[in-house]
């Protein structure tokens, strides 16, 4: 019967509807005798006559009523009244998890607390032999006190008493097109119709927790088919690329829940809950006493001084549990954090442990390795200094003290906030040596309203030579006076003010002369070219003189260099020069800024939405839109920072484009100069591109150079770290002894599933963008090599010195590069040593594949290592660095006899054909018929991936012979795209 307010259902009076779904309608009701409000669930009228639905409904009541747990909704009654079967259950006041997530990702600690309760409730059900099979945000209620209640056991099934698994709901178990289950949260075995057990709920739980932290489910698509395909085939997108502050151990827990193979998940959900509690405990410990422990008096250089600064409150806490942790687990935890590259958390954890192990030499040694002393001074003094981790932009600021201040800080990026009454606050993330020196030498604070509105101050200082720019682009050192830079990119709303003020009618704002194809053209003729698609004056991304609705705060895009310069003049400012733009970043190339910036995505975002913060307080200098700067090179103008749809690799590269270009990715931010900069800063910039001339050296002299790469063949002592399944291949991670310094080196092996050993293998060396990432759990530029294991060859990825978990500070000076290249070469050779010990690898068919920097160093590696049978250099060439003779490619390339394929884009601005690519090809010592140069469509990274794949695979087939597929394919995954 239809239920309306006032209807009677047995002893209950219906008060109001609460909600409805495919499996039932829910009403608020009151027990007339007990006066207790409950939730009444009934089948919809149109389904009540369906016996299968009725059976399902009654099974839910029986299943849930068998469970008694604070995180599972309580069933009070199941009964029938005048033909209507209903369930009376606990009324939960609150919101569904779906409603909470709709507001945005949850704070990490809250998500952990809720997830722990969900896991506990599921563990109770699983211990009782019940699998929920429909865990999703809509089936989890959260009360105002953050108490979790798991709802809707309508799809639950008990495990048979003999322990066999239960067949899961499949896409064939449908009625009127309704899938039994919710595709986003269904495990691979559910979608495939295979038997399920408690581990299927773990998969759904992993999706749920990923969504709580990331704001969206890990597997999605425009259609149900696309969602199902993503769950079955695609690897889990790294959560920390979506939200960098998620702890690595929490991401690992989620990743284990989302394993495609059920037996790789947790043996029990109770164990999953225990892991979550350990993760929460680690965060609690790490959060205690940060500020006090960061303080360091100038006269004290030991950790004991930091402990004393905690004061009496630290001694009043209960110390038993924490002392046991410090004595038994702390060193292992600190080591793991350092290995993962979480130096900030490692430092905080070490200081917490040192309170219970004062003077412990092992902890002091760890802290000394990852910290450096720093003085913080301001002009005027007496400013409050606060910090938080760069990876946690939404965390609370934690006070360090008042300037002048002396501390020790970890080798990790931090966000700094410096405030003083009557002065504008400073907020930035200095990480390079010069930027940190700005803190030490005395940061000048601006009086309130003393700087242009919406700008940040960039202090005066020396902009050092820029080896971190693309290697051909060596800029000279320049002294830069203090200036102001827009905190954000110019928005559509701001550019509309320019248009409304007559920006396309008033010639005085436009640079002169206006030149096209070497010819100065009249102003009006030029202006008529700057129209939107409907013919109105304005950016190419606008229409009828207006920008898309809702994009007021998006950065303006689709403007030429001339329009950018005119806007800045209208605003009373100027386009920054190349030198000022690089000075404003104030972070080296090992910057975390890219993790928090809008790059390598599918759309631009409102300014400031992403939290990529530069040294001095500007946002979005990496990504969103590229930013025009003043300087020319030839007939082009520089445009810096990369765009939202470009790889992170381009962030700090000197890119020049046609100043008339009006791509959607072309935008602007402006600079203000208190005093006019020197004319040399505005002059055309022609990066030094002279290639060191080849001066032949004798074989004897080369033998001396070659001797620097030798190492003792000490035992490898390999250790299998872990195995992981990916579509089409298995990832093995092993560690071996490096060739130097008693260090261990991880080697990743991506092994195809459908090829019988012995395997052909290819050693990969990445571009410099890999040095921007803290963990090897997610590779940089994987699309450039992940086709190799799917194509039948093992991709071998050593974690090179300074890369990923082995990150450490080093200087890109000639001597610094010499030391690192020798180490990298030894890493390659040591990897080959390991491959030779494995009978499942063919030691005569080992290739090398290097990208960008890896392609430039490649001839050094192949000249030193004769066991490499084929080489592929992608995006390489000779570069005009001040090489030390010991690593200068011009000495090594002629002695590389390895068959070599060079692949370059025809429009590669970074490695020009005449100056870089062709000279290297000519120098290579392989016979002419053993060298090939493939020039493909695109720039530094070829745009046609299929062309790239074809060239690489054809070359390897030619040198090693085609691979033979195994007769039985376990799970080959998708073919290369």
Catalogue the active-site residues: 134
Residues in the chain: 977
**CB contact burial 850-872 (16+ within 10 A = b; e otherwise):** bbbbbbbbbbbbbbbbeebbbbb
CB 137 within 8 A of CB 208: yes
> What SS3 state is found at 185?
helix
Burial class (CB in 10 A: 0-12, 13-18, 19+), 419: middle
Closest C-alpha to 792, from 751, 823, 832, 826:
751
Output b/e per residue, 363-379; b: 16+ Cβ within 10 A: bbebbeebbeebbbbbe
Helix/strand/coil (H/E/C) assignment for every residue in 291-338 = HHHHECCCCCCCHHHHHHCCCHHHHHCCCHHHHHHHHHCHHHHHHHHH
Q: Roughly how many angstroms between the first and final C-alpha of the chain, as a whole number?
A: 56
**Contact between residue 294 and residue 386 where contact means Cβ atoms under 8 Å apart:** no
Helix (H, G, I), strand (E, B) or coil at 112: helix
Instruction: Pick the closest to residue 974 from 783, 842, 840 (CA basis).
Output: 783
User: Is the distance from CB of 910 to CB of 940 less than 8 angstroms?
Assistant: yes
With contact defined as beta carbons under 8 Å apart, do 866 and 888 qualify? Answer: no
DSSP state of 103: T
Dmax over Cα atoms in the chain, in whole Å?
104
* 7 touches 45 (CB < 8 A): no
DSSP helix/strand/coil, 498: helix
Q: Which two tokens stand for residue 597?
A: 């910036």
Q: Please name which of 83, 188, 85, 204 lies closest in space to residue 133, comparing C-alpha atoms.
A: 204
Contact 104, 152 (CB under 8 A): no
Q: For residues 770, 772, 773 and 779, what is the CA-based torsion angle, rounded to 10 degrees? A: -20
Can you tell me which residue has the tokens 């007559």? 502
Beta bridge partners of 955: none
Q: How many Å apart are CA 398 and CA 412, to the nearest integer?
A: 16
Report strand pairing: 24-31 vs 12-21. antiparallel
∠ Cα 697 700 702 (to 5°): 55
Residue 275 and residue 205 in contact, taking contact as beta carbons nearer than 8 Å? no
d(CA 427, CA 794): 47
Q: Phi/psi at 317 (nearest 5 deg)?
A: -75, 155
- Phi, then psi, of 607 in degrees rounded to 5: -60, 140
9/421 Cα distance (integer angstroms): 66
729 closest CA partner among 712, 751, 709, 710: 751
Nearest Cα neighbor of 156 from 67, 47, 270 is 67
- C-alpha distances (whole Å) from 576 to each of 486, 493, 568, 581, 620 are 10, 21, 10, 6, 15
Which one, of 671, 668, 636, lies nearest residue 655 by Cα? 636
Q: What secondary structure, in 3-state letters, does 150-172 show?
A: ECCCCCCEECCCCCCCEECCCCC
């Amino acid at each position: 019967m239809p239920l309306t307010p006032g209807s009677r259902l047995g002893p209950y009076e219906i008060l109001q509807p609460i909600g409805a779904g495919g499996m039932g309608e829910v009403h608020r009701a009151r027990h007339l005798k007990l006066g207790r409000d409950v939730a009444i669930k009934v089948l919809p009228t149109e389904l009540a006559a369906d016996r299968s639905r009725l059976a399902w409904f009654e099974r839910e009541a029986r299943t849930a009523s068998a469970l008694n747990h604070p995180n599972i909704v309580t069933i009070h009654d199941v009964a029938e009244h005048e033909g209507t079967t209903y369930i009376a259950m606990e009324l939960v006041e609150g919101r569904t998890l779906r409603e909470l997530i709709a507001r945005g990702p949850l704070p990490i600690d809250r998500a952990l607390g809720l997830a722990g309760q969900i896991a506990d409730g599921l563990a109770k059900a699983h211990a009782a032999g019940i699998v929920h099979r429909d865990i999703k945000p809509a089936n989890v209620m959260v009360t105002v006190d953050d108490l979790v209640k798991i709802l809707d056991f309508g799809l639950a099934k008990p495990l048979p008493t003999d322990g066999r698994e239960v067949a899961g709901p499949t896409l064939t178990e449908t009625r009127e097109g309704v899938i039994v289950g919710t595709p986003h949260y269904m495990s691979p075995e559910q979608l495939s119709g295979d038997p399920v057990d408690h581990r299927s709920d773990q998969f759904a739980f992993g999706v749920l927790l990923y969504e709580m932290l990331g704001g969206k489910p890990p597997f999605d698509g425009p259609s149900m088919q696309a969602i199902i395909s993503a769950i079955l085939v695609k690897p889990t997108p790294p959560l920390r690329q979506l939200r960098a502050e998620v702890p690595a151990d929490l991401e690992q827990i989620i990743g284990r829940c989302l394993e495609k193979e059920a037996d790789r998940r947790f043996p029990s959900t109770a164990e999953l809950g225990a892991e979550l509690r350990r993760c929460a405990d680690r965060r609690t410990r790490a959060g205690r006493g940060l500020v006090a422990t960061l303080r360091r008096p100038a006269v004290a250089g030991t950790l004991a001084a930091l402990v004393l600064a905690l004061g009496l409150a630290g001694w009043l806490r209960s110390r038993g549990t924490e002392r046991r942790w410090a004595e038994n687990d702390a060193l292992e935890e600190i080591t793991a954090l350092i290995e993962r590259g979480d130096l900030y958390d490692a430092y905080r954890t070490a200081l917490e442990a040192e309170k219970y192990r004062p003077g412990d030499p092992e902890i002091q040694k760890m802290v000394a390795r990852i910290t450096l002393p720093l003085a913080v001074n301001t002009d005027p003094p007496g400013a409050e200094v606060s910090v938080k981790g760069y990876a946690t932009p939404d965390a609370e600021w934690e006070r360090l003290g008042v300037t002048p201040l002396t501390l020790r800080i970890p080798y990790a990026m931090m966000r700094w906030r410096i405030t003083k009454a009557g002065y504008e606050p400073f907020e930035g993330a200095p990480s390079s040596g010069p930027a940190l020196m700005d803190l030490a030498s005395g940061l000048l604070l601006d009086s309130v309203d003393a700087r242009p509105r919406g700008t940040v101050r960039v202090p005066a200082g020396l902009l050092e030579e820029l080896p971190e720019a693309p290697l051909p682009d060596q800029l000279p050192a320049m002294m830069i006076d203090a200036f102001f830079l827009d905190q954000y990119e110019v928005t559509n709303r701001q550019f509309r003010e320019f248009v409304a003020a007559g920006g396309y009618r008033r010639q005085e704002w436009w640079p002169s002369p206006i030149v096209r194809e070497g010819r100065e053209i009249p102003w009006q003729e030029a202006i008529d070219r700057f129209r939107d698609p409907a013919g109105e004056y304005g950016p190419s991304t606008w229409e009828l003189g207006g920008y898309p609705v809702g994009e007021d705060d998006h950065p303006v895009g689709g403007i030429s260099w001339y329009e950018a310069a005119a806007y800045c003049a209208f605003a009373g400012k100027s386009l920054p020069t190349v030198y000022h733009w690089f000075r404003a970043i104030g972070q080296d190339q090992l910057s975390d800024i890219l993790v928090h910036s809008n790059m390598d995505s599918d759309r631009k975002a409102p300014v400031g939405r992403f939290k990529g913060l530069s040294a001095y307080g500007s946002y979005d200098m990496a990504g969103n839109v590229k930013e025009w700067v003043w300087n020319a090179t030839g007939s082009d103008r520089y445009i810096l920072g990369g765009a939202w749809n470009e790889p992170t690799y381009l962030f700090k590269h000197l890119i020049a484009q046609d100043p008339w270009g009006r791509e959607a990715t072309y935008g602007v931010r402006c600079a203000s100069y208190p005093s006019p900069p020197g004319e040399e800063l505005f002059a055309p910039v022609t990066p030094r591109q002279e290639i060191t001339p080849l001066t032949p050296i004798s074989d004897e002299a080369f033998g001396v150079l070659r001797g620097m790469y030798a190492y003792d063949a000490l035992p490898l002592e390999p250790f299998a770290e872990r195995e992981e399944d990916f579509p089409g291949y298995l990832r093995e991670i092993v560690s071996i002894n490096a060739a130097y310094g008693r260090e261990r080196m991880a080697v990743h092996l991506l092994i195809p599933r459908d090829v019988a050993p012995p395997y052909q293998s290819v050693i990969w060396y990445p571009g410099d963008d890999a040095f921007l990432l803290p963990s090897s759990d997610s590779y940089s530029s994987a699309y450039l090599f992940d086709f190799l294991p799917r194509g039948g060859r093992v991709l071998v990825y050593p974690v090179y010195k300074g890369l990923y978990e082995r990150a450490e500070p080093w200087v890109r000076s000639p001597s610094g590069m010499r030391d690192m290249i020798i180490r990298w070469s030894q890493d390659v050779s040591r990897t080959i040593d390991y491959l030779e010990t494995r009978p499942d690898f063919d030691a005569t068919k080992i290739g090398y594949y290097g990208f960008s920097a890896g392609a430039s160093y490649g001839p050094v590696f192949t000249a030193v290592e004769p066991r490499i049978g084929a080489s592929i250099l992608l995006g390489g060439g000779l570069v005009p660095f001040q090489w030390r003779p010991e690593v200068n490619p011009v000495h090594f390339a002629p002695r590389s006899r390895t068959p070599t394929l060079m692949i370059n884009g025809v429009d590669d601005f970074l490695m020009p054909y005449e100056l870089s690519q062709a000279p290297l090809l000519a120098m290579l010592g392989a016979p002419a018929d053993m060298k090939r140069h493939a020039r493909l469509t695109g720039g530094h990274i070829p745009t046609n991936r299929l062309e790239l794949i074809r060239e690489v695979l054809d070359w390897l087939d030619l040198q090693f012979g085609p691979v033979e597929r195994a007769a039985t394919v376990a799970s080959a995954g998708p073919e290369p795209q």
